[in-house]
Each structure stands twice: as C-alpha cells, then as structure tokens.
Amino acid sequence: MKFHDILKEQRHPLLFGHRGYSAIAPENTLAAFRMCIDKGIPGVELDVHLCKTGELVVVHDSNLKRVGGVDLVVEELPFDQLRTIDVGSHKGPEYAGARIPTLEELFELCGASLYYDIELKTNAINDTGLAEKTWKTIERFGLRGRCMVSSFNPFAVRRFGSVSKQALPTAVIFSDDEGVPKIFRKGWGRHIARCTYLKPDYHLVDGAMFDKFHRKRGYPIMVWTVDTIEACERMLDLGVDGIISNNPGDFLDMIGKARR
C-alpha cells in the first residue's frame, strides 16, 4: 500500500503529533495521544518496543533514565515491572503517575480517531518478533487503513513489509545524526527496506533533495520534527506530504490553508 492510499479521506499534508502532543503532555503516554484528538490533530507518531515478556510497549528510549528516572532497559524488563515506573512526573506534577502504555491500550483508547505512524524501535538485524506482533495488533483492531510503519532500521521495515505482505505504507527514517550509521544518513536504507515513503529530518530537506526523491522517484515525504513557523512554511512551500511536530496545534491553520 502507498502512503497516499491510506489517506483517501484526507488531503495533504497530514499533521502528526510527535510522540503525541509532547510539547504539553508527557511523550508517548495516553494523555499525550488523547490531547491530539482533543485539539483536532489528525495523526500521532509513536514508538514501540518489545519488552522482556513480549508486550508491545509505547516508549521512545530503550533506557528509561530520561523519562522515568531509572537506569533500566525496556527490553530487559517484564511488563509488570515496566508498569511501576512513573513516566509523567518529569513533565510536571499534574502528570505524576503516568505509565508506559501498550500499543493495544492506545488502539483501545483512540481507535479510528487518529492516523498512526508507528516507529519500530530495534537495532537488531535478525527477527525479534517486533514486526510481526505489531502487524497482528494492527490487524486485530481493524486499523490497517489508519496505520503506517517506519524505522531507522531498514531491516525492521523490510521484515514488516514481508509479514504484512506490503499491506501498509512503510518508511525508513533518517538524519545526519552521528548515532545513525553513515551509510543510512541520506536515505540509502530504502534499498534494503523496500519502503513506500521517506521520513527524513526536516533539516535534510531542500529543493534538490525533494526533487530527487519526490518528483523524480515518486516517494512521498514526511518530515520531523518541525517546531517553528519558519520551518513549517519552508516544508509547505516544498510540498511535503506529512509534518510531525511536538506542538502540532501551532500549525493547524497553516496546514489547513496549504492542503491540496
């Protein structure tokens, strides 16, 4: 399935809350995702890991020190222990007690009210089961028409495309950050992933890049993380298909006027 196929009822570009409405609520929590619905944001970007006991948990970092204040690794913890960790207090006392949700809980809460850009979080080249479990969860909730899947790891994207039989749009994510292997910093991972759209850091997107990948090669482009009016205007002028922002409400009017 192509990126545009999933958006038959939406004009472009589509706006996504980065890890939910993370400028206000604690990232990747049910409160952050619910806030996107309340504020009229059509989509959310989120991150999924497999914890030790096999649950799909929605959290960005593998290590919980930044959001939970504990030096523990998601993949090494059973779900019951993960649920004891407060991932809301770091954002403010009003969010104290917020917990890491499962992908199932997110789908139960928000259902077809949102579009979902699901980032697979794994560094493994071999099969960990993350791709297949994510696909089966999407299918069980009947949300294949609302989901797209992406990753910095092109092998994970390719595996998801295989288990889903290319049923959803898929993308490689890339940036020039030193944490990204050099070979993948300019989107080369698309050859491994066999993906249908691209998710670059917006800093990498200029006229030449857009012409190369979008106009000449036909890839829809969804950019992250756009948090200033100037950056949003530049991306809209280029004609990107999706914009991910920590504070997406700032850009609702701009994007509404630019939709095509």
- pLDDT tier for residue 8 given thresholds of 50, 70 and 90: low
Can you give the residue ranges of every domain in the chain?
A: 4-258
174-203: pLDDT as tens digits: 999 999 999 999 999 999 999 999 999 999
What is the model's pTM? 0.97
Q: For a pLDDT cut of 90, what percent of the chain falls above it? A: 93
| Residue 195 tokens, joined | 């993906």
Q: How many CB atoms lie within 10 A of CB 71?
A: 8
Spatial CB neighbours of 19, under 8 Å, sequence gap ≥ 6: 27, 28, 32, 44, 45, 46, 47, 60, 246
Strand extents, DSSP E, 66-140: 115-120
Among candidates 87, 86, 173, which has minimal Cα distance to 122?
173
71-117: pLDDT as tens digits: 999 999 999 999 999 999 999 999 999 999 999 999 999 999 999 99
Among candidates 245, 242, 251, 196, which has minimal Cα distance to 221?
242
Separation of CA 30 from chain center: 15
Token pair 């092998």: residue: 155
Which whole number is the average pLDDT over 22-28?
A: 98
> Would you say 226 and 245 are in contact if contact means Cβ atoms under 8 Å apart?
yes
**Confidence at residue 226, expressed as pLDDT on a 0 to 100 scale:** 98
The one-letter amino acid at 137: T
- pLDDT tier for residue 7 given thresholds of 50, 70 and 90: low
> Would you say 109 and 34 are in contact if contact means Cβ atoms under 8 Å apart?
yes
Beta pairing class for 56-58 and 115-120: unpaired
CATH T-level assignment (fold) for domain 4-258: TIM Barrel (3.20.20)
Instruction: Please give the Cα distance from 131 to 158 (Å, whole number).
Output: 9
